[in-house]
Chains A and B, each alone.
Chain A
Amino acid sequence: MRSVVAEYDVKKDDRNRIALKSAQFDYYHAEVFDDGHIELHPKVLADASLSLRTLSMMDSAMINVAKGRTGKRLDPREILDIAGDEEE
């Protein structure tokens, strides 16, 4: 699961702003909970389009996922054991 790579305390300023010291992304979606904690989820706005074939591929896959149907496990060793030593 996710691991903590930075931890620090912050104080909001006079304009209710909090500075993020190690933010990787330019945009975040904020969720504010009634117990006071706030979660930030990275958002990427660039390249906001898809191949129609990719969309069709995902439509089919999601209809099957909804019915509990998936394919086999993707074992990375199947590829890395063959291609692992090649230069990229």
Chain B
Amino acid sequence: MPKFTVVAGVPEMEAEWKRLVDGLKAGRLSRSERVRAKKFAHAIAHLEENPFHQGLQSHEIDALSRRYGQKVFESYLENNTPRAGRIFWVYGPRRNYITVIGMEPHPRDSARGYARVALSNLPELERGREKKG
């Protein structure tokens, strides 16, 4: 029995996980997507047992913790290689739960360029812009 139940943030994180699982089953994923899916799954397995597993290099992101009013952590999909992929997670909403709320690179960002924002200059959170899961 895992120590933590890791769940998907909604709606996008859940949709991305489903896309990866369905894509794997149907053989639709590119090789790089398959590799990334596998790293993602390994990271989830570590989170279930020990969110501060050495390979995850988990650490709090202050700017995001301030934004959301609770501690937000970042973990690497590949040890010491943030560019290989990162996931963002929080404890909750229930005891012994972890919710994965985001990932980088974002699945719809292309290698050719996409808009980025500095953590030191985040736009205001639009609480009215709710999306249901």
Interface set, chain B 14-54, CB cutoff 8 A to A: 14, 17, 20-21, 24-25, 34-35, 37-42, 44-45, 48, 50-52, 54
Interface residues on B, range: 35 or more
Please report whether the interface of chain A is mostly helix, strand, loop or mixed according to DSSP: mixed
* Cβ B8 vs Cβ A83 within 8 A: no
The closest CB in chain B to the CB of A82 belongs to B24
Please report whether the interface of chain B is mostly helix, strand, loop or mixed according to DSSP: mixed
Give 23 CB contacts A-B under 8 Å: A2-B50, A43-B59, A44-B74, A46-B82, A49-B117, A50-B119, A51-B117, A58-B68, A61-B12, A63-B127, A63-B130, A64-B9, A64-B132, A65-B9, A68-B93, A69-B132, A74-B17, A77-B41, A79-B24, A79-B38, A83-B34, A88-B35, A88-B38
User: Hey, which bits of chain B sit against chain A, CB under 8 A?
Assistant: 3, 5-14, 17, 20-21, 24-25, 34-35, 37-42, 44-45, 48, 50-52, 54, 57-64, 68, 72, 74, 82-83, 88, 90, 92-94, 97, 99-106, 108-109, 114-120, 122-123, 125-127, 129-133
